[in-house]
Amino acid sequence: MLQDFQPTESYARQLDGQDPLYAFREEFYIPEGTIYLDGNSLGLCSRRAEQSLLLMLESWKQHAIDGWTEGKYPWFYLSEELGARMAALVGAKKEEVVVTGSTTVNLHQLVSTFFRPEGKRTKIVADELNFPSDIYALQSQLRLHGLNPADHLIRVRSRDGRLLDEDDLIHAMTEEVQMVILPTVLYRSGQLLDMERLVKAAHERGILIGFDACHSIGAIPHRFSEWGVDFAFWCTYKYLNSGPGGVAALYVNEKHHGRVPGLAGWFSSRKDKQFDMKHELEHAENAGAFQIGTPHVFSTAPLIGSLEIFAEAGIDRIREKSLRLTRYLMLLIESELAEWGFSIGNPLEDDRRGGHVCLEHDEAVRICKALKAEKVVPDFRAPHVIRLAPVALYTSYHEVWEAVQRLKTIMVEKKYEQYEKVRGVVA
């Protein structure tokens, strides 16, 4: 991959000319003059997402209450319809995915459903590098069972503070563990875990295993059903470009369909029984059972247009370009920035790398401020990580090249020194 690499502008232009996904850039609102490398935090707005949101607003205007069952996208079935469309992105059957809730609400739902401490099996395995929200949720779920998180939440340690070793994760899967919750991709370093191996190891030990796919959905193909993943959950506002606070989604393997949801609500019901208004829940026999409340229609609507784009681009082609973009960025960093103390904190191997590059520097917080002043949008993660996410659907190779040139100028001219070494409220 990129064996003919050259650190030149003409080479970047050449790569753009050969890019089969280049035309999809026109689908997105890219801020003028800005190089946007923060799509792993919030994806850009697409024209189709905008149109599907406006379409849903029009549906409300035209149909009022009848919008639940009328119009192009009846609201009553919207969560299941979009779950079916999203299923291909995680390698699932249509009935195994539903669009609903938020990431943390869905994690609470899944843990409340599947965590059943009994006998020796009273512990949950996670990791010390996980996103804090997941840890907070797991701690609170343990407390609800009267268990002390200090004793019953195992956070597997990283050997280097960047990456996790699958051997260490598997070693933690003892006879005291009932459930494992891990990220598909680590949010700081961008490490892609070997999910297939971890699922096999967990099941061999009689342990349920689920994944937080927030940092992989829309950037990396998955095969959840084939691997036998028990459950998973993810947001849609990063690589899936559903907008700030966009609705989340969850996956439940069909072998668990029929299980009573831990957190039941009106939309857990079978669709044909929901308006019977009985106090005895007849829950759906698919992933729809794990919904709780009424769908947030306007928060869900942008996904209609966004998923159309993914269906046309294809997740395999997206992954291929994403790997090329991140490889190209790493080669430029090594070529152009070696003398300024940067190091690459993500795995270099394609099969272990997610969709972003983890660039480390002691002055990361000030460098990020300088980059934004130079119209390059990165993401800072304490204490010293600059996350750079060239997104396959809208980032060009030339933008990656130009971003590195601007970063090089910042270092040569020491522009970062004019900024305070303190992160903003939102990093």
Q: How many Å apart are CA 185 and CA 130, to the nearest integer?
A: 9
Residues of the chain with pLDDT under 70: none
Bond prior to 378 in cis (omega within 30° of 0): no
Catalytic residues: 131, 212, 237-238, 387
The pLDDT score that the predictor gives to residue 134 is 98
* 129 and 188 Cβ atoms separated by less than 8 Å: yes
- Residue ranges of the annotated binding site for pyridoxal 5'-phosphate are 103-104, 131-134, 212, 215, 237, 266, 294
Q: Where does 51-311 sit in CATH, by number?
A: 3.40.640.10
Strand 357-360 with 385-388, pairing:
antiparallel
Task: Give the pair of three-digit tokens for residue 238.
Answer: 């990063």
CA distances from 129 to 134, 165, 174, 182, 299 (A): 11, 12, 20, 10, 29
Binding residues: 103-104, 131-134, 212, 215, 237, 266, 294
Contact 114, 231 (CB under 8 A): yes
- Please give the Cα distance from 362 to 295 (Å, whole number): 44
What would the pLDDT profile of 279-289 be if each residue is shown by its tens digit? 999 999 999 99
Query: So what's the pLDDT on residue 395?
Result: 98
Superfamily the domain 9-30+314-416 falls into: Aspartate Aminotransferase, domain 1 (3.90.1150.10)
- Pull the structure tokens for residue 119: 């006998």
Answer for the pair 5, 355: CB distance below 8 angstroms, yes or no.
no
| Confidence (pTM) | 0.96
Q: What pLDDT is recorded for position 313?
A: 98
**Fold: same for 9-30+314-416 and 51-311:** no
| Helix, strand, coil % in the chain, rounded to nearest 5 | 45, 15, 40
pLDDT of residue 205: 98
Task: Please state the domain extents for the chain.
Answer: 9-30+314-416, 51-311
Q: For 260, phi and psi rounded to 5 degrees?
A: -70, 130
pLDDT tens, position by position, 144-165: 999 999 999 999 999 999 999 9
Q: In the prediction, which pLDDT does 277 show?
A: 87
